[in-house]
């Protein structure tokens, strides 16, 4: 799977009490020809995917095992409706590899962009 590294989160989901941060129409990273993405995961970020309206499946990989057996990846359906979709947060103990990266795969990436946001109240 060819993956793109998503830059670290720079915006909180909420700018403070009563102040919301809008999800931009296009996130910072175009998925273009990549079939997946990865990002440094501290457990306090969520991924926002902007879809142009093509149905897709997002696969969240588990890095941990249970008694040596791999855990089946989590599949999340993105509908055939244009918009911003929030996915996460991701528990580092379950989803991070040795480099502290979380990995997600996509069945369709045409026209999609992605970015990371910090959860409200999270200390990073």
For the stretch 42-85, pLDDT in tens is 999 999 999 888 899 999 999 988 898 989 999 999 999 998 89
pLDDT tens track for 23-35 = 766 678 999 889 8
Model pLDDT, residue 20 = 63
Residues with Cβ within 8 Å of 41's Cβ and at least 6 positions away in sequence, in order, are: 90, 92, 95, 96, 100, 101, 102
Residue 50 lies in a domain: yes
The answer to whether residue 93 is domain-embedded is yes
Give a yes or no: residue 102 inside a domain. Answer: yes
Does residue 37 sit within a domain? yes
Question: Domain containing 80: what range?
Answer: 3-7+27-118
For residue 41, being part of any structural domain is answered with yes
pLDDT 10s digits, 102-117: 999 999 988 899 999 8
* Dihedrals phi, psi of 47, to nearest 5 degrees: -95, 135
For residue 85, what are the contacts with CB-CB under 8 A and spacing of at least 6?
A: 48, 49, 50, 51, 78
Which is more confidently placed, 9 or 74? 74
The DSSP element (H or E) to which 92 belongs, if any, is helix 92-95
**Per-residue pLDDT band at 21 (split at 50, 70, 90):** low
Mean pLDDT, residues 79-105 = 93
Identify whether 18 is part of a domain.
Answer: no
Residue 15 is assigned to a structural domain of this protein? no
Q: What share of the chain is helix, strand, coil (3-state, %, to 5)?
A: 5, 45, 50
pLDDT at 123: 55
Nearest to 8 by CA among 49, 30, 40: 40
Strand 36-40 and strand 3-5: pairing?
Answer: parallel
34, 2 Cβ separation under 8 angstroms:
yes
Instruction: Supply the pTM of this predicted model.
Output: 0.84
| Domain annotation covers residue 36 | yes
Q: Assign residue 80 the CATH number of its domain.
A: 2.60.290
Instruction: Give the pLDDT score at 32.
Output: 87
**pLDDT given at position 91:** 93
pLDDT value for 89: 92
Domain count, the chain: 1
């Amino acid at each position: 799977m060819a993956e793109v590294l998503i830059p670290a989160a720079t915006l909180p989901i909420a700018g403070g009490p009563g102040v919301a941060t809008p999800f931009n129409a296009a996130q910072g990273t175009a998925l273009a020809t990549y079939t997946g993405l990865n990002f440094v995961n501290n457990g306090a970020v969520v991924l926002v995917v902007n879809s142009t309206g093509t149905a897709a499946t997002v696969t969240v990989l588990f890095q941990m095992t249970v008694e040596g057996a791999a855990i089946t990846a989590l599949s999340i359906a993105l509908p055939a409706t244009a918009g911003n979709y929030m996915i996460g947060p991701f528990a580092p103990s379950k989803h991070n590899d040795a480099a502290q990266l979380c990995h997600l795969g996509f069945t369709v990436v045409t026209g999609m962009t992605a970015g990371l946001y910090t959860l409200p109240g999270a200390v990073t």
